[in-house]
Structure 1
Amino acid sequence: MAALCESFTLCGLGPGGGLGLGGGLLALEPGPDPDHVLLTDRGRTATLFKVSDQKPLGCWSVKQGQIITCPVVCNFETHEYVAVHDDKVLRIWKNQDINLDKVFKATLSADVYRIHSLPNGGPVVLFKGGGVRTLDVLLEAPQQEIENVISDEVIKWSEAFMEGQQPVLIFATEKDGDFFVYVQKLKMNSLHKYKLEQQELSKPLNFVAYIKKQIITLLCLYSNDSVYKVLIPLQQNTEEKEQILPKSLLLNLSVSGSVLKGTSFVVLDKDHVAVLGRLAASGEESKECLTIWNTKFQTLQTSKELPLGTSGQLWCYEEKFFFTHGKVLTVIMYKCETSSLAAAVGKLKDSQTPDVSSFVNWNTLEDEELAASLPSEQPVALTSESRMSLRSKGNTVAEVQPDTLSVGQLLLNLKNASTTVFEDELRQLISKVQMPDLQATIGCVVTALINRCKTKPKYYPQNFLLQIVETQDLSYSLCPDLMAVALEKKDVYLLQICLQRFPDIPEEITCACLKVFLSMSEAYLQRVDVNLESVICYIDIELNNKEVKTEIIENGFNVELEQDIWDTKITEKTHLTAGGEFCPVGPQKAALLNAVLLSAYSETFILPHLKNLPAQQAVLFLRYLYYLYVKCSEKINTALPGICCPTISQIMDWMCLLLDAHFTVMVMLPEAKGLLSNLHKFVRAQVRFYSELNKIEGSLRELQRLHHQKDPQTYSIEVLELI
C-alpha cells in the first residue's frame, strides 16, 4: 500500500515559475548532501535548499542578459556545481563562490542538451546533436569537435545510470512523429539505436527508466492515458542498426469512470508509480491531482487534489515529491509498502510504529488539516480516527458549545459561514486566546482569512488584517501567504507594515515589494493610506512653508507637523536638498521605499532577485538613494531626522547592491550616465573632505602635544639616562 503524508512549501516561485506548459522550473536535482536539492529556474538563478529546514543555503545567478539553459547539477566527486548558460558556456564553481562571472568558464563547440551527474562516475554531458562526453574529457579540450549522431531528430528526454563501473546514458528523440531510443555505454564507446513501436492515435508524453541486472526498463506515459513498459537488454550481440522495441501495457490510468490525463510520472518502487495530471470524469470539470498507482493490482492507491494548478512537472527524491502548486514549490512525503494480497485485504500484520516527522511544517493549515495542526484545548491531537467519528456524528458536533471546541475545530465549522459571522467569530477567538498558544492561534487565524481570500477572490478583509498585523507580534513564518496576497491585491499599506514588523521576510518577497512600490504612479499613491512618519522631517510637505523647513533643519523633528500631516497638500517640487537636488519620488513612495531599506536581508540571497528589477525602476531607485545620501551629508551627524529613517550605512549598502546588480545596464542608459557622474563626483568630494578633516585632526593633536602649558611656579627635574 502507498500513502501520501504531510506536505509543506519549500519556497515561493518567481515570475518564471508560472503554471502550464513552458512554466514551472527548469529542473530540480539532488544536492551534494542528503536532504539537499538544487533548484534551477527558467531564467538566471540556481538555489541550493535544505529541505527539512525549508531554507536556502546558497544562491547563484548569471548576469543579466544571460539565461541558464542546462540545469545546475552537483559533481559528487569534487562537490562542485556545473551549469551551462546560453547553450554553450560551461560554468563550474564551489559552494563559497558568489559571483559567477569570476568562476571557471569554458565555451564549448556545440549546444548542450543536459548534464547528468552520477554518484560514482562524475558528470556526463549530452549535446543536442546526440554526442556524449564525460566532463573530464570535455575539460581537456573544450573546443573539441562534437559529432552529430541524430541528424534531424530532436531530443525529448534523457537519463543516466551506473551499471557496475560502467556509465550508461539513454535518451529518446522524435522525428516526424516517430520516436527513437539511444543507449550509449561510455567506457566501451558503443551506441545502439532503437525505434519505439508506434501506438495508433497516441504518442509518448514522458519517459522514466531504471536499470537492473543488465536490463533497462523504460516506462512511457502515452497520450491515450496509459503507461507502457519497454525492456532493453544492455548486452547486444546483433549488428542490426535499428531495432523496433515492442512494448506492453503496464497501467491504464482510469478508475470508476474517471480518466487521468497524465503529464508526468515517476517510479517509486517495483510496484508503484506516481502520476501528476488532470482527473476527468464524464460530465464533471477536470481537477489536477497527484496520484499513486499500484501496477501489480492495477489500482489507484491514493490521490491528492491540487486546486491551485501545477506546471505539470514532478520530481521525486528521498521519499518526497516535489512539484509546483500555484506560485510555490510544494513537497509531499509518501510511504510505500510491499504489495501483497494480504496487505490488500488488510491481513498483513503491521510491526512498525508510525514515524514521527521531524519537519517543521508551516503550511498544513487548510481544511481538515487545520484540526490536526492547530492548538487544541484537548490533550489528544485530532487523529484520522477522531475525524472519522466527527464526520459520522455531525449532530454531536453541532451540540458542542463553542467554548469547548479546539481552534482547529472552530475554524473548520466556520469554513462555510457568512463573512460577518466568520470575522466576528475570529475576533472573539483572538480576544479569548491565552498564552502560550497566542502566536500559533493568531497565525492560524491569518491563514484562515487568506484561505478564504483564495477561495473567494472578491473577499479581502484589509482592515481586519491590518488590525492583526499592527497589534500582534507576528512573523512571516507564521503566515507566509499573507504578503503574497497583499502583493496580488497591491495593498501597499499592509506591505509597508509587514516590512516594518516582520523580522524574517525572504529576500524574494522584499524585492517583489520593491518592484511593486516603484511601479506605482504618484497619483495612485496619493489616494491610498501610507505611513509617512519616516519622511515628514526631511521631505517638505507644505508648499512654500519656509518656517517649517527652517525648523526641520534645526531641530530635526516637528510634532505639530506630524499631527497636521494628513491635512497637508503634497507637492513634489519642494523636495529639494541644500545642494538643489529634487527628491525623485513623492512622500508616499519615499515612505514605502524606506520600509524596504530598513528590512533585514542577506546580500548573497537578495542580489539575484535585485537583478530582476527593470532598468527604469533601478534608475529611479538609485536616484532616490542618491537623494538620501546627499540629504544625510547635509547634517553634521550624517543622519536623517525623524522616526524610522534609514541610516547612511543602510543607504550606502543598498546603493552598492543596486550598482552591483545593474551597473552594466546603467552605464548604457543615457538617463543614468548623468546620475552616475554626479554620484561619482559627490563621493569623491566626500572622500576628499573627510581626508582633509583627518589631516586637520592630526595637526591639532600634534599642536596640543607640542604646546602643552607648564606652570611657571613649579620646578621639574628631568633625568636622562645615557646608554
Structure 2
Amino acid sequence: MAALCESFTLCGLGPSSGVGLDGGLLALEPGPDRDHVLLTDRGRTATLFKVSDQKPLGCWSAKHGQIITCPVVCNFETREYIAVHDDKVLRIWKNTDVNLDKAFKATLSADVYRIHSLPKGGPVVLFKGGAVRTLDVLLEAPQQEIENIISDEVIKWSEALMERQQPVLIFATEKNGDCFVYVQKLKMNNLHKYKLEQQELSKALSFTAYIKNRIITLLCLSSNDCVYKFLIPLQQNTEEEEQILPKSLLLNLSVSGSVLKGTSFVVLDKDHIAVLGSLATAGEESKECLTIWNTKFQTLQTSKELPLGTSGQIWCYEKKFFFTHGKVLTVVIYKCETSSLAAAVGKLKDSQAPDVSSFVDWNTLGDEELVISFQSQQSVALKPESGMTDASTTVFENELRQVMSKEQMPDFQATIGCVVTALINRCKANPKYYPRNLLLQIVENQDLSYSLCPDLMVVALEKKDLHLLQICLQRFPDIPEEITYACLKAFLSFSDAYLQRIDLNLESVICYLDIELNNKEVKAEIVENGFSTELEQDIWETKITKKHHVTSDSESCPVGPQKAALLNAILHSSYSETFLLPHLKNLPAQQAILFLRYLYYLYVKCSEKITTTLPGTSPPTVNQIMDWLCLLLDAHFSVMVMLPEAKELLSKLHKFVRAQVRFYSELNKIEGSLRELQRLNHQKDPHTYSVEVLELI
C-alpha cells in the first residue's frame, strides 16, 4: 500500500521570492547533503534550500542579460556547483562564492543540453548534438571539438545511471514523430541506438529509467493515458546500428470511469509510480491531482487534489515529492509498503528480504517444454524425458549460465521458471540426475517465486538439500503453508551433528550467537528490562529448584548455528495463520518444545536491548518471533501443559512476559506523569519565572 502524508510549502515562487515561475522551474536537483535541494528557475537564479528547515542556504544569480540554460547540479566529490548559461558558458563555484560572475568560467565549443552528476561517477555533460563528455575531460580542453551524433533529432529527456560502479548515460530524442533512445557507456566509449515501438496516434510525454541486473528498464508516459515499459540489455552482441525496442503495457491510467491525463511521473519502487496530471470523469470538470499507482495490481492507491494548478513537473527525493502548486513549491511526504498477496491475506516478509520483481503474463508460459534461443541463434529443447548424456548436460548448463548472465529476454523470469520446472521434471524421471549447483545459482541470482517452479522445494526436500531450501524460504514470497511446515519439520528432525557437515548461510545468526558465546559465564541471573525473574512468583515456583533460576538455559542457544539459521528462514517466510495452524498441530511434541525453546531464546535476546532488534544480517524481528510463539502455543497448548519437560519452559516464558508487562506498565505511568506536567506547564503564565522541584512517586 502507498499513502500521501503531511505536506508543507518549501518556498514561494515569483519575483519577490527570487525563484521564477514562468513555465515552471528549470529543474530541481539534489544538493550536497541529503536534506538539501537545488532549484533552478527559467531565468537567472539558482537557490539551495534546506528542506527540513524550509529556508534558503544560498542564492546565486547570473548578471542581467544572461540566462541559465542548464540546471545547476552539485559535484558530490568536490561539493562545488556547476551550471551553464547562454548554452555554452560553463560556471563552477563553491558555497563561499557570492558573485556568480566572478566564479570559474569556461566557454565551450558546442551547446550543452544537460549536466548530470552522480554521487560516485562524477559530473557528465550531454551536448545538444548527442555527444557526451565527463567534466574532467571537458575542463582539460574546453574548446575541444564536439561531434554531432543525432543530426536532425531533438533531445527530449536524459538520465545518468550507475551500473557496477560505471556511469551510463541514456537519453531520448524525437524526429518526425518517431522516438529514439541512445545508451552511452562512458568508460567503454560505446553508443547504442534504439527506436521505440510506439502506439499509433500517441506521443511520448515523459520518461524515466532505472538499472537492475544489467538491464535498463525505460518507462514512458504516453499521451494515450498509458505507461509503457521497454527493456534494454546493457550487454549487446549484435552489430545492428539501430534496433527496434518492443514495448509492453505497464499501467493503464484509468479507474472506475475516470482517466488520468498525466503530464509527468516518477518511479517510487518496484511496484509503485507517482503520476502528476488531470483526472477527468465523464460529465465533470477535470481536476489536477497527484496520484500513486500500484503497477503490480493495476490499481490507484491514493490521490491528492491540487486546486491551484501545477506546472506539470514533479520530482522525488528522499521519500518526498516536490512540485509547484499555485505560486509555491510544495513538498509532500509519502510512504510505500511492499505489494504482495502476503500483505493482504497473511504475514508479510521482513522489509530486509531480497527484492522480488513482478512476474509476467502467466498465459505466455509453456507446459513441459521450453525452447531457448542462444547467441548462435540455435535452439536447445529440454524435455523431462530427454536422455541427454553427461557431456550434453554439462554443455546445456554452461550455455544456460551464459544466457542468465545476459538477460536479453523480455519475459526472463518466466522463462527461467520454465527451465527450472523442466530440470525438476527430469530429476523426477531420473533420480540420479540432480543439478544442485545450477539450481542454487538460479535461485540465488534470479527473482523467482514458488509459483514459477512449484516442484522445486518438494524435490529439494526429498534430496535433503537444506541449503537450497534455506534460499527458497528467504526469497520466495508465495510458499504454501504446507511446504513451510514440511521444511520446519525437516529442519527440526536433523541433529546438530549432521547439520555441522552442511554448508549453510549463517549471516542471520552468527552475530548474536558469537556475542552470546563470548559472554556465556558472565551473568548468573536473568535480568530483563531492569527486572529479575527471581522476584516473580507463581504456582509452579515451589516445584522448581533454585538452580533453574540461573540463566544456563537462556544464555545458551538450544540449537546449533546451522539449525538456528534454518529456523530463521522459517520465521522470515510468509504465511496465513488460518492455513498454517492445522499443519502445526501435526508437529511432534518434542520438536514443538525444541522450537518453542529457540523462540523463547530469541525473545529474551531481543529484549536485552532497548532497540529490540538482533544484530547481524536479516535476523528475525521481534514481531515474527512473537507471532510464531503464539502460533506454536495455540497449536500445542494442551500438549505443552501435560508434558513435564514443557512446564519449566512455560513457567519461564510466563514470568518473563509478566516482567515485561510490569516494566511497560511503569513506563506508561511515567508517560502519564510527564503528560500531566506538560498540561500544567501550558496553563501557567509563560512570562513568570520560577524554579520548581518535582517528585515522581
TM-score by length of 2: 0.50
Q: Which is greater in Rg? A: 1
